Amino acid sequence: MALVSMVELLGKAQKGGYAVGAFNCNNMEIVQAIIAAAEAENAPVIVQASQGAIKYAGIEYIATMTKLAAEKASIPVCLHLDHGTGFDQVMQCIRNGFSSVMIDGSKLPLEENIILTNRVLDVARATGVSVEAELGKIGGTEDDITVSEKEAMYTEPEEAKYFIDHCKVDALAIAIGTAHGQYKGTPKLDLPRLEKIAGMLDTPIVLHGSSGVPDDAIRAAIERGVCKVNIDTNIREAFMAGVKDALAANPSEIDPRKVLGPARERMTAIVREKIRLFGSSNQA
């Protein structure tokens, strides 16, 4: 199948009360693991590329690998730019065949975020590419900040309504207490805030920083309107655990396939687990 945009995937998820998993890829083994897991679960899936992934592998490699995987796959696959930094990068992704982009203007003042997002929306609409925006700041777990500083970064429901009234994106990432990377403690989601935002918008909501969030909190977030859940760190952990175990079992191994093969299987297993948690199994 050719790559699909996020619009149809998230529209179905919203109606069906489940979320589509959006999994970060950085190389061939990760792309293969994500697709194998989605096929085994008969689930729609989003493969996404972060800034780090683009720097590491290059847009062309990521696009070519994922397009090939999608063509061979029995399930719908969307290729999405994660945390797009600006108009030029979005254009480059569209030229390379990405079916979806995120434009992350969350560090900009509200009106500037709206202007930038609308500029991206104009070209995306003309090319059938879907657009995710971000409002509120989703930091990293390494950011050393207090609880009140953290809450100051959360998405304001009224601002979210104003944002969507002024730019009709296909998905909105919000900040409700998650962060990128490994958590030091257990993250606590501001579910009342999510519920309020979801009640004010029709737009599918995206949860970033979802690795390490307890399963019941993920389920509660999906029940309250989250339709796309982003997972990166859990895949990295599985990859490296697979590599370490394979090397521990045979420290003198010289064939990379004997190390990366088991790592790919570990990643497939965690992605399958997440797909089941998100309720998207058998929704392809």
State the catalytic residues.
82
Within 8 A by CB and 6+ apart from 7, the residues are 130, 170
Residues that bind ligand 13P (CB under 6 A): 24, 82-83, 180-181, 208-211, 230-233
Is 83 a residue that touches ligand G3H (CB under 6 A)? yes
Is 53 a residue that touches ligand G3H (CB under 6 A)? yes
Residues that bind Zn ion (CB under 5 A): 208
Task: Please state the closest distance from residue 246 (CB atom) to ligand G3H, in A.
Answer: 23
Q: Which is nearer to ligand 13P, 170 or 232 (CB)?
A: 232
Q: Which is nearer to ligand 13P, 43 or 138 (CB)?
A: 138
Q: How far apart, in whole angstroms, are the C-alpha atoms of residue 101 and residue 80? A: 5
Collapsing DSSP states into helix, strand and coil, what is residue 279? coil
Report residue 97: phi and psi, to 5°.
Answer: 95, 10
Q: Which is nearer to ligand G3H, 52 or 128 (CB)?
A: 52
Is 80 a residue that touches ligand G3H (CB under 6 A)? no
Is 196 a residue that touches ligand G3H (CB under 6 A)? no
Q: How far apart, in whole angstroms, are the C-alpha atoms of residue 218 and residue 237? A: 19
Residues 224-253 that bind ligand G3H (CB under 6 A): 232
> Would you state the torsion angle of the CA atoms of residues 40, 232, 44, 79, taken in this order, to the nearest 10 degrees?
-120
Tokens linked to 29: 């083994």
Task: Please state the closest distance from residue 230 (CB atom) to ligand 13P, in A.
Answer: 3
Task: Using alpha carbons, select from 115, 55, 110, 44 the residue that is nearest to residue 82.
Answer: 55
Residue 165, Cβ density class (10 Å: 0-12 exposed, 13-18 middle, ≥19 buried)? exposed
Which residue in the shown chain puts its C-beta closest to Zn ion?
208
Q: How far apart, in whole angstroms, are the C-alpha atoms of residue 40 and residue 34? A: 10
Which residue in the shown chain puts its C-beta closest to ligand G3H?
52
Tell me which of Zn ion, ligand 13P, ligand G3H, none is bound by residue 100, counting a contact when its beta carbon lies within the kind-specific cut-off of 5 to 8 angstroms: none
Q: Which is nearer to ligand G3H, 41 or 134 (CB)?
A: 134
Tell me which of ligand G3H, Zn ion, ligand 13P, none is bound by residue 192, counting a contact when its beta carbon lies within the kind-specific cut-off of 5 to 8 angstroms: none
Q: How far apart, in whole angstroms, are the C-alpha atoms of residue 272 and residue 36? A: 9
Residue 147, Cβ density class (10 Å: 0-12 exposed, 13-18 middle, ≥19 buried)? exposed
Tell me which of Zn ion, ligand G3H, ligand 13P, none is bound by residue 211, counting a contact when its beta carbon lies within the kind-specific cut-off of 5 to 8 angstroms: ligand 13P
Is 50 a residue that touches ligand G3H (CB under 6 A)? yes
Which amino acid is located at 236 in the chain?
R
Asked if 124 and 131 touch (Cβ cutoff 8 Å), the reply is yes
Task: Please state the closest distance from residue 114 (CB atom) to Zn ion, in A.
Answer: 20
* CB atoms closer than 10 angstroms to residue 204: 25
| Part in contact with ligand G3H (CB under 6 A); list of ranges 49-57, 157-165, 188-196, 262-270 | 49-57
Task: Please state the closest distance from residue 89 (CB atom) to ligand G3H, in A.
Answer: 13
Q: Give the footprint of ligand G3H on this chain (CB under 6 A).
A: 24, 50-53, 82-83, 180, 232
